[in-house]
């Protein structure tokens, strides 16, 4: 084919060929009519290859619907549109393109300019995840400030008042009582401090290794630890992991989750019935969701809901279990970007949920 | 002779209840001590005894951070029943944390006589009680 270019068209021709952007003309049948040489450089195909293939075939499968919807606007009377999508390079990876596209109604041709924004996209995503991390760290800092002022100052103030009181108490039996209170306050304080230290450690340990774990195996390990308690309380454990059998997660965190939920379910069993504990995994909004349901005492959520995952609750310690409390479990889950919550009804039972 | 008839503790910390109870009874500061673990049980008691106001306290030591109904919510409820009270009830906030926003908020409540940060010295409690009208003031 011979291109005859008259001098008045030369400037436009140069412009089309020399622009740093990706310029093209496409038709309503879904093919490129003409492309500038930058396309070859950016995507690695020849101009002929690009012209011979319907352009939808280059678009990332997840972006096709979005792109079609945008192009539809042209037939609805919009004269120009702008959008973003991903185009597949010859080597197989994708670049992000920012499009602006104008329709010429008479010929039905689309005149479009695309700009490679892969670098910007990558940076934006990095910034987003960075901002998210900062936000959650900020939240944790605020929480630590609250913990130190409330959970640590509380027992310290008590110990100070108790030692004052001890000096003034004249009767031995009152002095003994006072000593006991000092001891228990010191114990609470020590426990709280240990948990705070543990939580700080978890939050600093962002590089913790994830492994592919099967829920069934981790549950098996937990059941062996709790074996005697399960037998003693005649607990029935029902599980179903077939919808989501595996997860990539730090092993000690997942073990702690199971140990915590199960030992709680056993400890807070109803006096009227043998414990039945149901454990399920499935998918919720593309994420793995684990639920542990029991028929135990249940929790008054209005009264204790706010403190359930808070510090200072030591209702998890079991003779055989050496798992940490729900506060630590929550810290671990949130450090990996997950969410934890409980639903409960007094006298009916409790369901603990995690979206990983 | 006790300084007042009744002191009311509203706080979810049992150790604190014990400390205050001992301090009050050792110093004979009140004949009766009312103890509540949250704002709701406390306000219920007030509502139930509006017809029998000799049972109501002259002094309330009110914690801010409590489950079910916290100190601020208690104060809102208290303001509603206050016009029906025939005696002066003095309220002090008692918390374990110094929180600037709480202090500012407290200044907006005229019924609050002060903001105490734990630990509370025995002397401070005596001083507060010395400044409380002991007998009934009928308004």
Q: What is the 3-class SS of B66-86, one letter each residue?
A: CCCCCHHHHHHHHHHHHHHCC
Classify each residue of B54-86 as buried b or exposed e, where b means 16 or more C-beta atoms within 10 Å of its C-beta: eebbbbbbbbbbbbbbbbbebbebbeeeeeeee
Are B118 and A162 a contacting pair at CB < 8 A? Answer: no
Q: Which residue has the tokens 């995994």?
A: A281
Residue B107 clears pLDDT 50, i.e. is over it: yes
In degrees, rounded to 5, the angle at the alpha carbon of residue A204 between the alpha carbons of residues A203 and A205 is: 90
Given a cut of 50, whether residue B108 has pLDDT beyond it is: yes
Q: What average pLDDT does the segment A236-248 reach? A: 93
Chosen for mutation from A161, A189, A302, A311 (greatest number of chain B CBs closer than 10 Å) is A161
Report chain B's C-alpha Rg in angstroms: 14
Helix (H, G, I), strand (E, B) or coil at A210: coil
User: Which of B34, B67, B111 lies closest to A310 in space, CA to CA?
Assistant: B67
User: What integer best gives the mean pLDDT of chain A?
Assistant: 86
Pairing mode, if any, of strands B4-10 and A339-345? unpaired
pLDDT (tens digit, 9 = 90+) per residue, A147-203?
666 678 888 999 999 999 999 998 899 999 999 999 988 988 888 788 788 877 887
What are the distances in angstroms from CA A73 to CA A58, A68, A78, A97, A197?
21, 9, 6, 19, 57
SS3 content of chain A, % helix, strand, coil (to 5): 50, 25, 25
- Please tell me the distance in Å from B99's CA to the nearest CA on chain A: 9
Query: What is the C-alpha end-to-end distance of chain A, expressed in Å?
Result: 59
Instruction: State the span(s) of chain A assigned CATH 3.30.565.10.
Output: 211-355
Mutate one of B14, B66, B97 to test the A interface: name it (highest A CB count within 10 A): B97
* pLDDT tens-digit map of B55-102: 999 999 999 888 778 899 999 999 999 999 988 999 999 988 777 888
Taking the C-alpha atoms of residue B54 and residue B135, their distance in angstroms, rounded to an integer, is 11
Contacts of B22 in chain A (CB under 8 A): 165, 169, 174, 178
Domain limits, chain B: 8-130
List the single residue in B with minimal CA-CA distance to A174. B22
Nearest neighbour of B16 by CB, restricted to A149, A158, A164: A158
Q: Do A153 and B97 touch (CB under 8 A)?
A: yes
Name the class of domain B8-130: alpha beta
**Secondary structure E strands in A89-242:** 94-104, 109-116, 211-214, 236-240
Residue matched to tokens 């390990």: A221
Per-residue pLDDT at A196: 80
Confidence tier at A2 by pLDDT (50, 70, 90)? low
For residue A303, give the nearest of B22, B65, B68 by CB distance: B68
- In sequence order, the 6+-apart residues with CB closer than 8 A to the CB of A305 are A299, A342
Question: Are B15 and A150 an interchain contact pair (Cβ–Cβ within 8 Å)?
Answer: no
Residues A308, A351: Cα–Cα separation, whole Å = 13
pLDDT 10s digits, A310-345: 775 443 333 333 345 788 888 888 888 889 999 988
Nearest to A157 among B26, B67, B96 (CB): B96
Contact A165 B68 (CB under 8 A): no
- pLDDT of amino acid A39: 94
pLDDT class of A97 with cuts at 50, 70, 90:
very high
pLDDT over threshold 70, residue A300: yes
Q: Does A161 touch chain B (CB under 8 A)?
A: yes
DSSP B121: P
Q: What is the mean pLDDT of residues A34-40?
A: 93
Fold classified for A7-116 = Beta-Lactamase (3.30.450)
CB contact under 8 A, A168 and B122: yes
Q: Is the pLDDT score of B136 beyond 60?
A: no
pLDDT at residue A6, rounded to an integer = 67
Give the chain B residue whose CA is nearest to the CA of A153: B96
Q: What gap in Å lies between CA A310 and CA A304, rounded to an integer?
A: 10
A-chain residues near B68 (CB < 8 A)? 302-303
The whole model's pTM is what?
0.60
C-beta of residue A14 within 8 angstroms of C-beta of residue A5: no
Mean pLDDT of the region B102-128: 90
Note if the bond before B119 is cis, omega within 30 degrees: yes
Query: Residue A296 in contact with residue A268, Cβ under 8 Å?
Result: yes
Is residue B131's pLDDT more than 90?
no
For the cut 90, the answer to whether the pLDDT of residue A276 exceeds it is yes
Q: Which of A308, A327, A339, A309 is nearest to A197 (CA)?
A: A327
Chain A CB within 8 Å of residue B122 CB: yes
* Tokens of residue B109, six digits: 């409540």
pLDDT score of A98 more than 90: yes
Torsion A330-A331-A333-A337 (CA) sign: positive
**Quick one: tokens of B35?**
């103890």
Q: What is the pLDDT of residue A4?
A: 63
- Is A153 in contact with B121 (Cβ distance < 8 A)? no
Interface check A171 vs B, CB under 8 A? no
Which tens digit of pLDDT belongs to each residue from B6-48?
A: 999 999 889 999 999 999 999 999 999 999 998 999 999 999 9
A187 contacts chain B (CB < 8 A): no
pLDDT value at residue A5: 63
CATH 1.10.287.130, chain A: domain bounds: 127-204
Fold classification of A211-355 is: Heat Shock Protein 90 (3.30.565)
Residue B136: both structure tokens together: 């009934």
pLDDT in tens, A192-231: 788 788 877 887 776 778 889 999 999 998 998 888 889 9
DSSP A350: E
A38-52, A74-88, A176-190, A297-311: range with lowest mean pLDDT = A297-311
Hey, what CATH topology would domain A127-204 get?
Answer: Helix Hairpins (1.10.287)
Q: How far is A278 from B67, CA to CA, in rounded Å?
A: 30
């Amino acid at each position: 084919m011979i291109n005859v270019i008259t001098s008045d068209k030369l400037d436009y021709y140069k412009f089309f060929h020399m622009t740093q952007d990706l310029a093209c003309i496409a038709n309503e049948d879904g093919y490129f009519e003409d492309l500038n040489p930058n396309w070859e450089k950016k995507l690695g195909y020849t101009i002929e290859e690009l012209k011979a293939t319907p352009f939808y075939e280059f678009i990332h499968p997840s972006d096709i619907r979005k792109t079609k919807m945008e192009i539809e606007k042209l037939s609805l009377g919009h004269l120009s549109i702008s959008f973003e999508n991903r185009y597949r390079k010859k080597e197989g990876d994708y670049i992000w393109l920012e499009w602006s596209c104008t329709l010429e109604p008479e010929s039905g041709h689309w005149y479009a300019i695309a700009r490679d924004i892969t670098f910007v996209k990558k940076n934006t995503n990095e910034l987003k995840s960075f901002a998210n991390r900062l936000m959650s760290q900020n939240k944790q800092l605020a929480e630590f400030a609250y913990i130190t002022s409330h959970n640590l100052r509380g027992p310290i103030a008590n110990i100070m008042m108790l030692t004052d009181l001890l000096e003034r108490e004249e009767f031995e039996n009152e002095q003994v009582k006072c000593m006991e209170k000092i001891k228990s306050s010191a114990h609470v304080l020590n426990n709280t401090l240990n948990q705070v230290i543990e939580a700080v450690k978890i939050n600093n340990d962002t590089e913790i290794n994830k492994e592919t774990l099967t829920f069934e195996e981790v549950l098996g390990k937990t059941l062996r630890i709790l074996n005697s308690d399960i037998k003693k309380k005649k607990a029935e454990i029902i599980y179903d992991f077939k919808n989501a059998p595996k997860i990539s997660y730090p092993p000690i965190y997942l073990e702690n989750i199971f140990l915590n939920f199960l030992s709680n379910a056993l400890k807070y069993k109803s006096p009227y019935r043998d414990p039945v504990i149901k454990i399920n995994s499935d998918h919720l909004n593309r994420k793995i969701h684990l639920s542990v349901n029991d028929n135990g005492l249940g929790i008054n959520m209005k009264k204790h809901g706010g403190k359930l995952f808070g510090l200072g609750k030591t209702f998890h310690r079991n003779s055989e279990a050496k798992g940490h409390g729900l506060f630590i479990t929550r810290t671990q889950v949130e450090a990996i970007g997950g969410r934890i919550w409980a639903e409960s009804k007094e006298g009916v039972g409790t369901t603990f949920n995690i979206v990983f | 002779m006790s300084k007042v008839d009744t002191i009311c503790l509203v706080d979810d910390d049992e150790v604190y209840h014990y400390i205050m109870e001992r301090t009050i009874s050792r110093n004979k500061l009140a004949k009766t001590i009312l103890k509540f673990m949250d704002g709701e049980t406390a306000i219920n008691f007030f509502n139930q005894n509006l017809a029998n106001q000799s049972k109501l306290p002259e002094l309330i030591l009110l914690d801010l951070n409590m489950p079910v109904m916290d100190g601020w919510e208690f104060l809102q409820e208290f303001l509603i029943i206050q016009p029906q009270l025939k005696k002066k009830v003095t309220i002090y906030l008692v918390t374990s944390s110094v929180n600037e926003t709480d202090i500012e908020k407290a200044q907006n409540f005229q019924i609050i006589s002060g903001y105490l940060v734990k630990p509370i010295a025995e002397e401070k409690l005596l001083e507060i009680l010395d400044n409380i009208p002991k007998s009934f003031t009928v308004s």
